[in-house]
C-alpha cells in the first residue's frame, strides 16, 4: 500500500510510526532539573470523544474541548482551560467564508437566544475570541444549551452542542474541579484551594550550536536554480531502513536523491533519507552518524504516546537544534500532528506536540496540545 495512504488512514489513530501507550521517557542523566518534583500530580496526555465533541488534555493538564458545525460550513468552537484554582476558561470560535476566506469581525454568537459578541482574532486564522468576562458566563450556560449559532459578514453556521456537557464534565474531573466552586458542570461548595496545581513540565535543554560549514551549501541553489543535494554516504545507504525507503521512492527522480544533512556536533551528523512523498506530505527517516557518515544509527523520535521513526514534512534548524514536523491530515492543513524535537547532545527529546484529529477548518494555532516542556 502507498505510504501516504497508510499515513492518511492512520491519522485517526495518531501520527504514522511505531507507537506505544507510554509518554516520552525523560533522560534524567541529561539534565538533573528534569527530576524536579511536580507542583501538582503528574498526568499523561489523554483524549476523549463525547458525541460530536472532542476533548484533549496534555501532560501539563491544559485541557481543550471542541465542537463542529452541524452543516458543511466551516465553523467550530474551542473552549479551553489551564489547571489550577485561579484558571479562567477561554472561548474561541471559527467561521470561514466562501473558498476558505477570512470574514471580518465582529462575530455574533447566539446561545439559546443569549447574544455574545466575539472580536476577530489573529489574521489568517478565521478565529473570533470572547472576552474573559463573556467567556465565564458563556461557559456557565453551554452545558445546558440546545442551540448555538454563529454569524458574521453574511455567513451563518450552526454548531453542535451535542456532547459539550460531557466533555466539560470530563475536563472538570481531569483537573480536579468536581464539586468545587471552580467547576463548569458539577459545581459545588468545595473551595478553589482544593483544586490541584499544574504539574511541573519536563525540561528539555538543547545542545550547543555548532558550525554548519560545508553543509550550509545544501540549503542554497546552484547557478541553474536547482537545490544542492548531498550524496548519501555508503554506510547510511546500507542501513536496512535507508534501503527500504530508497526502494519505496526509487520511481521518483527527486525523492530518490533528496537527502539532507546537518552537523549536530563536531563529530556527529544527522542524515535524512526520503521514504515517501505525496501531494502534501513528505516523509523521512533519520540517522545519526560520525564524521562523513560513519557508524550510522537510526533515530527513534519520542511522541506523546510512544515513538516513531518517521518524520513528516520535517525541517531541521541548526541554530536552535530543533527538528519540526507538520503532518497534514489533508492538503489545507486543518488537521494532523505538529511536533518539535530538540537535539540534547545525547538524543532528540520531544519539545512540543499538537494533534487535531478532526478536519474542521481549524488552523494549527488552535490545535490542542498533547505535550509541552520547559
Position 16 confidence tier, pLDDT thresholds 50, 70, 90:
very low
Among residues 155, 183, 198, 202, which one has the least CA distance to residue 33? 202
C-alpha closest to that of 83 among 186, 172, 211: 172
Which of 234, 241, 327, 232 lies closest to 270 in space, CA to CA? 232
Verify that 118 and 238 share a domain, yes or no.
no
Q: Do 230 and 305 belong to one domain?
A: yes
The stretch 132-153 carries a mean pLDDT of 97
Among 341, 342, 337, 338, residue whose Cα is nearest residue 357: 337
**For the segment 17-26, what is each residue's pLDDT rounded down to a tens digit?**
333 334 564 4
DSSP state of 194: G
Q: Are residues 229 and 328 in the same domain?
A: yes
| CA–CA gap between residue 366 and residue 127 (Å, rounded) | 9
Last residue of a domain, one of 194, 224, 257: 194
**Cβ atoms 172, 178 nearer than 8 A:** yes
**Are 209 and 358 members of one domain?**
yes
Residue 128 belongs to domain spanning: 43-194
Question: Is 244 in the same domain as 326?
Answer: yes
Q: Contact, 325 vs 282, CB < 8 A?
A: no
Q: Grid coordinates representing 313?
A: 514534512
pLDDT at residue 5, as a whole number: 35
pLDDT at 223: 78
Number of domains the chain is built from: 2
Of 150, 169, 194, the residue that ends a domain is 194
Burial class of 292 by CB neighbour count within 10 A (0 to 12, 13 to 18, 19+) = exposed
For the CA atoms of 348, 350, 354, 355, the dihedral, rounded to the nearest 10 degrees, stands at: 80
- Establish if 79 belongs to a structural domain: yes
pLDDT value, residue 293: 98
Q: Are residues 146 and 227 in the same domain?
A: no
Do the domain assignments include residue 33? no
At residue 12, the pLDDT reads 33
Pair (80, 19) in one structural domain: no
pLDDT digits (tens, 9 = 90+) for 21-42: 345 644 433 343 343 345 788 8
What are the tens digits of pLDDT across the range 226-277?
888 999 999 999 999 999 999 999 999 999 999 999 999 999 999 999 999 9
pLDDT(3) > 60: no
User: Could you read off the pLDDT of 82-103 as tens digits, one per residue?
Assistant: 999 999 999 999 998 877 778 8
CATH number for the domain that contains residue 179 = 2.60.40.1880
Domain-embedded: residue 299: yes
In a domain, 36, yes or no: no
Provide the grid cell at 332: 489545507
Answer yes or no: is 34 within a domain: no
Do 127 and 152 fall within a single domain? yes
210 and 320 within one domain: yes
**Final residue of a structural domain among 194, 227, 250:** 194
- Residue 274 phi, psi dihedral angles, 5° rounding: -60, 135
Q: Are residues 240 and 149 in the same domain?
A: no
How confident is the model over 123-141, as pLDDT tens digits? 989 999 999 999 999 999 9
pTM of the model: 0.88
What local confidence, expressed as pLDDT, does residue 88 receive?
Answer: 96
Amino acid at each position: 500500500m502507498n505510504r501516504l495512504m497508510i499515513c492518511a488512514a492512520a491519522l485517526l489513530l495518531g501520527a504514522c510510526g511505531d507507537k506505544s501507550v507510554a509518554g516520552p521517557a525523560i533522560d534524567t542523566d541529561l539534565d538533573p532539573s528534569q527530576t524536579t518534583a511536580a507542583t501538582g500530580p503528574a498526568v499523561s496526555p489523554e483524549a476523549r470523544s463525547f458525541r460530536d465533541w472532542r476533548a484533549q488534555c496534555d501532560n501539563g493538564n491544559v485541557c481543550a474541548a471542541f465542537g463542529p458545525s452541524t452543516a458543511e460550513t466551516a465553523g467550530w468552537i474551542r473552549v479551553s482551560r489551564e489547571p489550577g484554582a485561579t484558571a479562567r476558561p477561554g472561548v474561541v470560535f471559527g467561521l470561514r467564508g466562501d473558498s476558505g476566506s477570512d470574514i471580518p469581525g465582529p462575530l455574533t454568537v447566539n446561545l439559546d437566544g443569549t447574544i455574545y459578541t466575539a472580536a476577530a482574532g489573529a489574521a489568517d486564522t478565521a478565529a473570533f475570541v470572547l472576552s474573559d468576562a463573556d467567556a465565564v458566563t458563556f461557559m456557565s450556560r453551554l452545558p445546558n444549551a440546545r442551540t448555538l449559532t454563529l454569524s458574521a459578514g453574511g455567513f451563518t453556521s450552526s454548531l453542535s452542542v451535542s456532547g459539550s456537557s460531557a466533555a466539560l464534565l470530563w475536563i472538570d474531573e481531569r483537573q480536579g474541579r468536581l464539586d468545587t466552586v471552580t467547576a463548569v458542570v458539577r459545581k459545588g461548595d468545595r473551595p478553589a484551594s482544593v483544586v490541584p496545581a499544574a504539574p511541573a513540565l519536563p525540561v528539555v535543554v538543547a545542545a550547543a550550536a555548532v558550525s554548519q560549514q560545508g553543509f550550509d551549501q545544501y540549503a542554497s541553489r546552484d547557478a541553474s536554480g536547482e537545490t544542492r543535494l548531498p550524496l548519501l554516504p555508503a554506510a547510511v545507504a546500507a542501513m536496512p531502513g535507508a534501503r527500504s525507503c530508497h526502494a519505496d521512492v526509487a520511481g521518483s527522480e527527486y525523492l530518490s536523491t533528496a537527502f539532507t544533512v546537518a552537523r549536530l556536533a563536531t563529530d556527529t551528523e544527522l542524515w535524512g533519507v526520503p521514504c515517501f512523498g505525496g501531494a502534501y506530505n513528505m516523509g523521512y527517516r533519520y540517522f545519526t552518524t560520525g564524521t562523513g557518515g560513519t557508524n550510522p544509527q537510526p533515530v527513534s523520535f519520542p511522541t506523546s504516546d510512544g515513538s516513531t521513526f518517521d518524520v513528516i514534512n520535517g525541517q531541521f534548524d541548526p541554530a536552535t537544534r530543533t527538528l519540526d514536523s507538520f503532518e497534514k491530515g489533508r492538503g489545507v492543513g486543518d488537521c494532523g500532528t505538529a511536533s518539535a524535537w530538540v537535539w540534547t547532545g545525547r538524543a532528540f527529546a520531544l519539545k512540543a506536540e499538537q494533534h487535531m484529529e478532526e478536519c474542521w477548518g481549524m488552523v494549527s494555532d488552535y490545535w490542542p496540545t498533547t505535550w509541552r516542556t520547559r
